[in-house]
Chains A and B, each alone.
Chain A
Amino acid sequence: MSEAIDKDANEYSSIIETVISEAKKMGATASEVSLGIETGLSVSARMGEVETLEYNHDKGLGITVYKGGHKGSASTSDFALNAVRDSVKAACRIAEYTAEDNCAGLADKELMAWNYPDLNLSHPWDIDSNSAVDLALECEDAGRHFDKRITNSEGASVSSHGGLHVYGNSHGFIGSYPTTRHSVSCSMIGQDGDVMQRDYWYSVSRDANRLQAAKAIGEESARRTLARLNGRRIATNKYPVIFSADVASSLIGHFIAAIKGGSLYRKTSFLLDAIDTQIFPEWFNACEDPHLKMGLGSAPYDSEGVVTSSREFVKEGVLKSYILSSYSARRLGLVTTGNAGGLHNLMVKTGDKSLTELIKTMHKGLLVTELMGQGVNGITGDYSRGAAGFWIDHGEIQYPVEEITIAGNLKTMFSTMLEIGNDVDERKNIKTGSILLDEMTVAGE
């Protein structure tokens, strides 16, 4: 897989150069191209048998042209010269109809990542389909045989993907870097009485050697499933709440969405004009680390070729920076933060308590381990989502809780955070520990 990628990098760069010169011939004043190829293998096993064997091979090319402030885009999965030329033509044609937008265009030339680091993101996994199936079977067996209350399975899967991303623009910038992503996951079904429950666990890494052992993943999926059996509802009231680390990243994700340039210039954020204001408690700090070696969210440059760099977004609870692309920055009269295409590894500074200790601190309340539905209003910060988890009393888990909702307003939820545990979920682009909140409205019985 890696050999093919190395061999192809030059070929793809020359496709990009062709596109840029074709666009210029057709009257574009600027243009940019991003090209991606990905190959991979996914296998799944269920009830002790292989279930699916999937070979992935994807490629795509996206072109954006600018004629002055007029923009047009096109994409194609066919890299043949005439198909590429047709796509350039289609993009140029669209630019004849779009209105002039003074903010449209490439990122500034001096911001390009002319020298970018190797972030060690590619670790091809030399695994054939038989070995992948064996690994999935091992994982699934470990889950199914964990306990007799595990009565069924949704299977285990093993996947390995590798790709090459190439980006170039008419500033003369061209960059490429390979990435890999491997994962093992497992989902079990348990039953005690009438009601079934399912839960899952997974491991993901750029390097297969860093994946959690298949057996451990299977067992953890079973353990989590069993913990949910015989769930109850709790009485409607206000309670302290802990978001476990894997769901806490979604809570921070709502903050991220609210400080993105697009939400700000469109005025669809509940955090307008919040720069330099206190959003979180004073102990809260969050920064971006785009050059984390082997990081799942790492990138040497953003989707406009702008160099990425580490940045403090929240310092002592105060918002220090928005998340901007060159376009949203121009709309706001600011400078891009190298976040076209998104955020690269957000690290939320943790406290020193484990989840168990955090539960002891809460003493009584709700531990949320699953969130459902889309009840978040990004413009007001109103929050109301389905949830499941555990009832905590006397600092210990009492019983599983299900079929409830938790509600509040994100602004209040952020400012009334009490503590963050040290149990960071390293699988996420937003890396945070479990979060203890002062109080939320819980609707149940």
Chain B
Amino acid sequence: MSQHIEKASKVLFEPSGLKHADLASILSDIVAHHGVDNADLYFQDTRYESWSLEDGIVRDGTYGIDRGVGVRALSGEKTGFAYSDDISLSALVDAASTVKAIARQGEQGKIQLPFKSKKISALYQPIDPLSSMQENEKIELLEAVDAEARRQDARVTQVFVSLAASKDVIMVAASDGVLAGDIRPMVRMSVSVVVEQKGLREQGSSGGGGRVAYGYFLDQDRALNYAREAVRQALLKLEAIDAPAGNMTVVLGAGWPGVLLHEAIGHGLEGDFNRKGSSAFSGRMGEKVASDLCTVVDNGTLEDRRGSLSIDDEGTPAQNTTLIENGILKNYMQDKMNARLMGMSPTGNGRRESYAHLPLPRMTNTYMLAGKQSQEEIISTVKNGLFAVNFGGGQVDITSGKFVFSASEAYLIENGKVTVPVKGATLVGNGPDVLTRVSMVGNDLKLDDGVGTCGKEGQSVPVGVGQPTLKIDEITVGGTST
């Protein structure tokens, strides 16, 4: 990891001649202000590109650079924050003088020097994915995906493909002595198709990615498989009937349907909401919040995954945190500030969209551990219900616990068998309640393909979700067919 600090320092500090000693003096200056307990500096240099294909040709490409530093002063529950897109000593001095105004009285904080850099095992390679493939190869890859989608079926009328990569170099210096750096690659591909049959049109989409090089999309024919999957989903919708409306047993497929855990449970277990008492899970530590079959973790330590982080944006190493164990609420996800205020330990969940945003407790890869039954066994126990295999987005009100999410691929279950596809099924429920109704958990744990982005307080961060097949005894399905 010290190697990362060297590399990151070169990218972030060399242009302006900033030194580690300057970081120490800025932090010392902030915490010397009466009432400031802690302070940190977050430096970031992001390079990104994207390419998009439409109507069989690559029509657009873009490249961008964003650099800057965020300066934060903490005083109890109060936060002062400023940022600059100029990484220089004068910009740091200016920002430091504004943020410390958050505190007006009290003890001076203490700075722990010299900086200590823990040895941390990197979960991904410090590569530059943008240069991991030649430009003409990127174009060929996009064209190959387009051709593959069109080859699947004559009813495919439109194909949209996008390919994007970013390289994020970050460094955190904090008054508690933490000095940490990270080099974070990310690639992402999305495929979306339109199919048409007798004047009816439908859309299907697929994609994936992770903290890897572009070559990932060539391995195991991943890119071509996204094309096939997008077409399969679109064609299926052409055949789908209206979803039923009302309460029924729902079997959720493995993988991406784990977005339910993310929405219904995950957000409610973030430290800030629980410190403020605004979550439906507030004050329920140690209580039963799910059936015995449910064990849910937030694991930032999986190699190369989209939601993983070697260190979080406060320099805390990623962890595998058990949130719910056999139905009992065990832990919240914490950043440093909320952990300190709640007398708990940070869990490596302090994340921010960029230097221009404040860190918040956020999820990494959130999933339920596998159970014992096969998917067939689970479905065979349902007389009448819904089998939901894929989802669009979801949303939760963490205070009332109410959540909603939309199935993009779902089927009726009739007499223990999966029958016809249905469209427009929206599931609505109550977070603290839904996992108590889980009556079967599959042996087929699967994580998503690397497509998740989570929004909170206007900030987007990449995340992962996953789960085995689950049977939920009763949940409200909102369709049009009554």
Instruction: Say whether A266 contacts B194, CB under 8 Å.
Output: yes
Known: A373-B394, A375-B426, A377-B424. A52 touches B79 (CB 8 A): yes
Residues of B79-118 contacting chain A, CB below 8 A: 79-85, 95, 98-99, 101-102
Instruction: Say whether A77 contacts B423, CB under 8 Å.
Output: no
Instruction: Give every chain B residue within 8 A of A238 (Cβ-Cβ).
Output: 482
Instruction: Say whether B78 contacts A52, CB under 8 Å.
Output: yes
Instruction: Say whether B201 contacts A443, CB under 8 Å.
Output: no
Give the complex CA separation of A86 and B47 in angstroms.
13
Give the complex CA separation of A23 and B423 in angstroms.
49
Instruction: Give every chain A residue within 8 A of B481 (Cβ-Cβ).
Output: 441
Give the complex CA separation of A405 and B394 in angstroms.
13
Give the complex CA separation of A152 and B278 in angstroms.
7
Instruction: Say whether A50 contacts B482, CB under 8 Å.
Output: no
Is B119 engaged at the interface, CB distance under 8 Å to the other chain?
Answer: no
Which single member of A59, A384, A388, A443 contacts B402 (CB below 8 Å)?
Answer: A388
Q: Mark B38-73, 1 if CB is under 8 A from A, else 0.
A: 000000000000000010011111111111100000
Which single member of A54, A195, A375, A441 contacts B245 (CB below 8 Å)?
Answer: A441
Which single member of A71, A94, A233, A380 contacts B63 (CB below 8 Å)?
Answer: A94
Instruction: Say whether B65 contacts A373, CB under 8 Å.
Output: no
A230 to chain B, nearest CB (A): 11
Instruction: Say whether A54 contacts B82, CB under 8 Å.
Output: yes
Instruction: Say whether B157 contacts A267, CB under 8 Å.
Output: yes
A241 to chain B, nearest CB (A): 13
Give the complex CA separation of A228 and B399 in angstroms.
12
* Chain A residue with Cβ nearest B134: A97
User: Count the B residues whose beta carbon is within 8 Å of the partner chain — how many?
Assistant: 77
Instruction: Give every chain B residue within 8 A of A72 (Cβ-Cβ).
Output: 61-62
Instruction: Say whether A407 contacts B479, CB under 8 Å.
Output: yes
Instruction: Say whether A78 contacts B426, CB under 8 Å.
Output: no
Is A395 engaged at the interface, CB distance under 8 Å to the other chain?
Answer: no
Instruction: Say whether A382 contacts B61, CB under 8 Å.
Output: no
A82 to chain B, nearest CB (A): 10
A76 to chain B, nearest CB (A): 5
Instruction: Say whether B278 contacts A154, CB under 8 Å.
Output: yes
Instruction: Say whether B482 contacts A236, CB under 8 Å.
Output: yes
Is A46 engaged at the interface, CB distance under 8 Å to the other chain?
Answer: yes
Is B139 engaged at the interface, CB distance under 8 Å to the other chain?
Answer: yes
Give the complex CA separation of A238 and B245 in angstroms.
10
Most buried by B among A50, A58, A72, A104: A50
Is A197 engaged at the interface, CB distance under 8 Å to the other chain?
Answer: yes
A413 to chain B, nearest CB (A): 11
Instruction: Say whether B84 contacts A57, CB under 8 Å.
Output: yes
Instruction: Give every chain A residue within 8 A of B395 (Cβ-Cβ).
Output: 372-374, 386
B30 to chain A, nearest CB (A): 13
Instruction: Give every chain A residue within 8 A of B392 (Cβ-Cβ).
Output: 374-375
Instruction: Say whether A94 contacts B402, CB under 8 Å.
Output: no
B145 to chain A, nearest CB (A): 15
B244 to chain A, nearest CB (A): 9
Instruction: Say whether B400 contacts A74, CB under 8 Å.
Output: no
Instruction: Say whether B61 contacts A385, CB under 8 Å.
Output: no
User: How many Cβ-Cβ contacts under 8 Å join chain A to chain B?
Assistant: 248
Which single member of B136, B246, B480 contacts A97 (CB below 8 Å)?
Answer: B136
Q: Mark B360-402, 1 if CB is under 8 A from A, else 0.
A: 0000000000000000000000000000000011110101111
Is A444 engaged at the interface, CB distance under 8 Å to the other chain?
Answer: yes
Instruction: Give every chain A residue within 8 A of B401 (Cβ-Cβ).
Output: 195
Instruction: Say whether A98 contacts B59, CB under 8 Å.
Output: yes
Instruction: Say whether A129 contacts B101, CB under 8 Å.
Output: yes
Instruction: Give every chain A residue within 8 A of B196 (Cβ-Cβ).
Output: 267
Instruction: Say whether B404 contacts A373, CB under 8 Å.
Output: yes
Instruction: Give every chain B residue within 8 A of A75 (Cβ-Cβ).
Output: 62-65
Which single member of B77, B246, B399 contacts A236 (CB below 8 Å)?
Answer: B246
Instruction: Say whether B477 contacts A443, CB under 8 Å.
Output: yes
Instruction: Give every chain B residue within 8 A of A98 (Cβ-Cβ).
Output: 58-61
Known: A78-B65, A405-B426. A384 touches B101 (CB 8 A): no
Is A408 engaged at the interface, CB distance under 8 Å to the other chain?
Answer: yes
A50 to chain B, nearest CB (A): 6
Instruction: Say whether B428 contacts A403, CB under 8 Å.
Output: yes
Is A26 engaged at the interface, CB distance under 8 Å to the other chain?
Answer: no
B322 to chain A, nearest CB (A): 26
Is B429 engaged at the interface, CB distance under 8 Å to the other chain?
Answer: yes
Is A11 engaged at the interface, CB distance under 8 Å to the other chain?
Answer: no
Is A114 engaged at the interface, CB distance under 8 Å to the other chain?
Answer: no
B281 to chain A, nearest CB (A): 11
Is A357 engaged at the interface, CB distance under 8 Å to the other chain?
Answer: no
Residues of B414-460 contacting chain A, CB below 8 A: 423-426, 428-430
Which single member of A58, A73, A403, A405 contacts B356 (CB below 8 Å)?
Answer: A58
Instruction: Give every chain B residue within 8 A of A384 (Cβ-Cβ).
Output: 243, 406, 424-426, 478-480
Instruction: Say whether B78 contacts A74, CB under 8 Å.
Output: no
A11 to chain B, nearest CB (A): 16
Is A275 engaged at the interface, CB distance under 8 Å to the other chain?
Answer: no
B414 to chain A, nearest CB (A): 19
Is A90 engaged at the interface, CB distance under 8 Å to the other chain?
Answer: yes
* Chain A residue with Cβ nearest B84: A57
Known: A57-B83, A154-B278. A50 touches B102 (CB 8 A): yes
* Chain B residue with Cβ nearest A59: B85
Instruction: Give every chain B residue within 8 A of A445 (Cβ-Cβ).
Output: 247
Is A268 engaged at the interface, CB distance under 8 Å to the other chain?
Answer: yes
Is A359 engaged at the interface, CB distance under 8 Å to the other chain?
Answer: no
Is A32 engaged at the interface, CB distance under 8 Å to the other chain?
Answer: no
Give the complex CA separation of A388 and B58 in angstroms.
43
Most buried by B among A51, A73, A196, A409: A196
Instruction: Say whether A375 contacts B54, CB under 8 Å.
Output: no
Is A334 engaged at the interface, CB distance under 8 Å to the other chain?
Answer: no
B151 to chain A, nearest CB (A): 20
B458 to chain A, nearest CB (A): 11
Is B289 engaged at the interface, CB distance under 8 Å to the other chain?
Answer: no
Give the complex CA separation of A101 and B200 in angstroms.
28
Give the complex CA separation of A74 and B152 in angstroms.
35
Instruction: Say whether A443 contacts B479, CB under 8 Å.
Output: yes
A330 to chain B, nearest CB (A): 12
Residues of A72-108 contacting chain B, CB below 8 A: 72-78, 83, 86-87, 90-91, 93-101, 104
Is A406 engaged at the interface, CB distance under 8 Å to the other chain?
Answer: yes
Instruction: Say whether B157 contacts A94, CB under 8 Å.
Output: no
Most buried by A among B138, B356, B480: B480
Is A288 engaged at the interface, CB distance under 8 Å to the other chain?
Answer: no
Instruction: Say whether B426 contacts A53, CB under 8 Å.
Output: no
Q: Mark B460-482, 1 if CB is under 8 A from A, else 0.
A: 00000000000000001111111
Is A140 engaged at the interface, CB distance under 8 Å to the other chain?
Answer: no
Q: Mark A390-428, 1 if CB is under 8 A from B, else 0.
A: 000000000000111111110000000000000000000
Residues of A353-382 contacting chain B, CB below 8 A: 372-375, 377-380, 382
Which single member of A53, A197, A444 contacts B400 (CB below 8 Å)?
Answer: A197
Most buried by A among B84, B243, B428: B428
Which single member of B59, B84, B243 contacts A104 (CB below 8 Å)?
Answer: B59
Nearest 10 Cβ contacts at the A-B interface: A405-B478, A386-B404, A99-B57, A373-B404, A443-B478, A443-B245, A94-B61, A375-B406, A73-B62, A75-B64
Known contacts A73-B62, A236-B245, then 11 further A-B pairs from the complex at CB < 8 Å, ordered by chain A residue: A52-B80, A57-B84, A57-B85, A74-B64, A96-B135, A189-B399, A267-B196, A373-B426, A385-B478, A409-B480, A443-B428
Question: Can you list 17 A-B pairs, Cβ within 8 angstroms, ordered by A?
Answer: A53-B78, A54-B80, A55-B83, A58-B85, A78-B67, A91-B63, A93-B135, A99-B58, A228-B400, A266-B160, A268-B203, A380-B200, A382-B423, A402-B400, A403-B429, A404-B476, A441-B245
User: A: which residues have CB within 8 A of B?
Assistant: 46, 49-59, 71-78, 83, 86-87, 90-91, 93-101, 104, 129, 152, 154, 189, 195-198, 228, 231, 233, 236-238, 266-268, 372-375, 377-380, 382-386, 388, 402-409, 441-445
User: B: which residues have CB within 8 A of A?
Assistant: 54, 57-68, 77-85, 95, 98-99, 101-102, 135-136, 138-139, 157-158, 160, 194, 196, 200-203, 243, 245-247, 276-278, 280, 356, 358, 392-395, 397, 399-406, 423-426, 428-430, 476-482
